[in-house]
Amino acid sequence: MPSILIQVPSKSDPKLLLELAGKLEFKSFALSERETRILARQKLAAITEDVDVAEAPSMEEINEIVEQVRTCRYTLDN
């Protein structure tokens, strides 16, 4: 099943988006910043195979992983 991740600038936005997803009968859930960082760290560890997942990644590391995933997904889809 296709998925989408939306980052929001305001703490009230996730609630609104979750309510909207519910009305549209989409499955949805919110990730905390900590959970997002853990997922990014795990993805980075899978790529490099030598990263400690207990250490909190920097925003720069997260953004690099996001760009790598986008690049891989775009090249696989096209």
pLDDT band at 75 (very low <50, low <70, confident <90, very high): low
Across all residues in the chain, what is the average pLDDT? 77
CB 57 within 8 A of CB 38: no
pLDDT band at 26 (very low <50, low <70, confident <90, very high): confident
CB 65 within 8 A of CB 44: yes
CA dihedral defined by 51, 3, 19, 34, rounded to 10 degrees? Answer: 0
pLDDT the model gives residue 38: 85
- Which contiguous run of DSSP H or E holds residue 16? helix 13-23
The amino acid occupying position 42 is Q
Sign for the pseudo-dihedral over CA of 61, 66, 70, 76: positive
**pTM value?**
0.41
pLDDT band at 37 (very low <50, low <70, confident <90, very high): confident
Averaged pLDDT, 55-72: 80
